Structure 1
Amino acid sequence: MKIFMVISAIVLVIAGFIRYLIQKFSYLFNPPLRIHLVPEAAGKGRSKVFEQHRRELDSRSFDEIGTFRIPEMSGLMLTAFTQPYQNVCAVVYNHPIVGCFIDMFSENEESRSLTVSSAPLGEELDQPPGREKIIDKTLTVSDLYDLILKDRPAGPHKRIDASNFVVEFQAAYAKEMDWRVNRGGVTEEEVRRSAQVMGIASDKTVRKATEKLRDQYASKQRILPCEKHPEGDCSYDYEKNPRRDIEGMPFVNGDPRSCPKYGHICPEFMEDFGLTTEDLHIRASIHCGALIDELVKQGKLTKESPEYREQKHRYENMRRLYPKGKYPQYY
C-alpha cells in the first residue's frame, strides 16, 4: 500500500489530475508521514471481490485479524489476515479508485522482508534496503502465497497476529516513509519510469514533476522545538522533569526528528509513532532498567545506591505488568 500511495502521487503530478480529485484524495498527491489504523466493524466496505479473496485465504488457513480504516487516507479500508503456521500476513485493500487488491508479507528476525502484491501500481519505485517487493496485478491469491513461501528471506520469521499487527503495520509504514523523506523523496528516474508507463516521454515534464514532488517531501521535514527557540532551549530536557520522557522515544538513525543531545526521537513527535505519555513512561522505565546493570559494570553506579534499587524495582515491575510477548511495543 505504501508503494501505491507514492506512485499515485507521481501519476497525479504528471497527469495534472483535476483539482477535485487532488482535494478529495490528497493522501495520494501528498502521502502522510504517519498513519493510524482505526478498527471498523467486520463486514464494512466488503465487495464481491473481497469476499472471493477472503474465501481463498480461508482455504489456506489464514485467520482474520480485523478490518481497519486509515483516517489520513479518506476512503481506504483494509482487512488483515494471518497464517500462523508459516508466519505470513495478508492484507486485502479496498480503495475507491483502484478497487480491491492484496499484499502478502513475511519478515525474518533480521528485519529482511518480502512483500508480494496484486496492486495495479508500484513496480516503478525503488525499495528500501532489505525490503523486497514483487508487484504484479495479475497474481491470484494462490500465486501470491506460493511466491512468498518460495522467495522470502530465510527464517526464522516474525509472527504477526492480532496482538501486534497494528503496531507492526504502522511502524513499517513510518520506516519506509522516513527512508523516502531522508533520501529527498522520489528520484527523477522513478518519475521517469512512472511517466513511461503513462506514455509520457518529455524530459521537461519529468523534471518538473520530480521537483514538485521533492519539494513536497522536503516540506515534511520536521523542525525540532529547540531549533525554533532562539537560545536552543529544550522543553524536554531531563532537568525540567517533562511529562514526555525522552527515554521512552525510539532511536531512528538519520531521522531529522532525533534529539542532537540524547539521540532519541524528540518527544514532540510522539504522536507520529502512535505513543502516549503513559507509553513513554513505560518504555522509559524498561529502557533505563535494562541499562542499569551496565552502568554498574562501568563503575558509574553501585547496586547499593538508592538510584539503582529504585530503577531496578521499577524495571522488574514494568516487566511483570507488561511482558514482552504481550506488549512488544514497549521493548
Structure 2
Amino acid sequence: MRRRRVGTSGLQVSRIGLGTMTWGDDTDADAATAQLVAFVDAGGTFIETADVYADGRSQEILGKIMAGGVRREELVLAGRGGLPAGVLGEGAARGALLRALDATLRRLGTDHLDLWQLPGWDDEVPLDETLSAIQVAVLTGRVRYAGLVAPSGWQLSTVAERARVLGNITVPVSAQVEYSLLIRTAEAELVPAARHHGVGLIAWAPLGRGVLTGKYAGGTPADSRAASPVLAPYVEARRNERSARIVHAVLTAADGLGTSPLAVALAWVRDRPGIATAVVGARDAAQLSASMATETIELPAEIRAALDDVSVPV
C-alpha cells in the first residue's frame, strides 16, 4: 500500500487507515486480530483509536494484539482524546487531556502515540493551556505529532497561528473529519484552511457509514450495522433521499468500471485534495480486504466529475 505524508509534516501514513470503533462491541478480539494482521500484511500502517470506543475496550484489545505478535513498530497509532470529566477538569483542560493520554497509553501497552488527536475547540479552556498539553506530551516522549478532531476552518486557522507563536512542536499536523460523497461540508472552509496551514486531512466514514456500499439500497440486511442496536442510529443519520440518489450514481459507476460500489466511494475520498488517509472500519477480515483491494483502483476523470456533480453539497 502506498503511503502519504500528513500535510507538510514528516509523518507518513498508509493512504487507507484502519478504524477500531466497533472493536469490543460488534467486533470481538479474534475478529479484530484477524483484521489487524490482514491490514499490516497488505502494507497498512495507520490505526485510528479513541478512548470512547467501547468505553476503552477497543484500545485494550488493540494493546493485547500488539503484545501478542503484531509489532508496535509497524504501526502508526493515532489516539483520539475524549472529553473526560474529573477533579482535573474536562474537555481540553491540560490536566484532563494528559490524564486521558496516560490512560490510553496504559490500555494500548505502549509508551507513545504517533499522532495525538485532540478536541478541535473548547470555549471553556484557554487555547494556550490546551497547546501546552501538546508541548508537555511531546517533550516527555508520550506523543510524536498532534492533530485536531472535527475543527471548523476558522478554528483550525486560529490554533495553527497561535501554535506557531508558542513553538513548532505544538502546531497541528492533521485534522480528522467526516468526509464522503454524502458529507462534503469540510470543503467549504476546513479543506482550504488545512491546505493553507499545511495540515493533512484524515477522512473518517469515507463510505458514508456504510450507506455508499449499496447494501441498504433494497432495505436493511439483518447482519448490517443498521440492524445493530448499538450502531443503527449512526447509520440511519446518513439514509435519506439525497443519499439514495448518490448511491445510485455510485452503483452505476461501479457497474461501468467492473468494480464494487465500496471501491468507487473509497477511491473518490482517498484521492480528494489534502487527504492523507481515509479510515475504514470492518466487521471482519474479509470485509476489510474488500477495502484494501481499492488500493489498485483509480477513478477515471469523467467518473470522478459525475460523482462530484451528483454529490454537490446543498
TM-score scaled by length of structure 2: 0.29
User: Which of these two proteins has the greater Rg computed from alpha carbons?
Assistant: 1
TM-score scaled by length of structure 1: 0.28
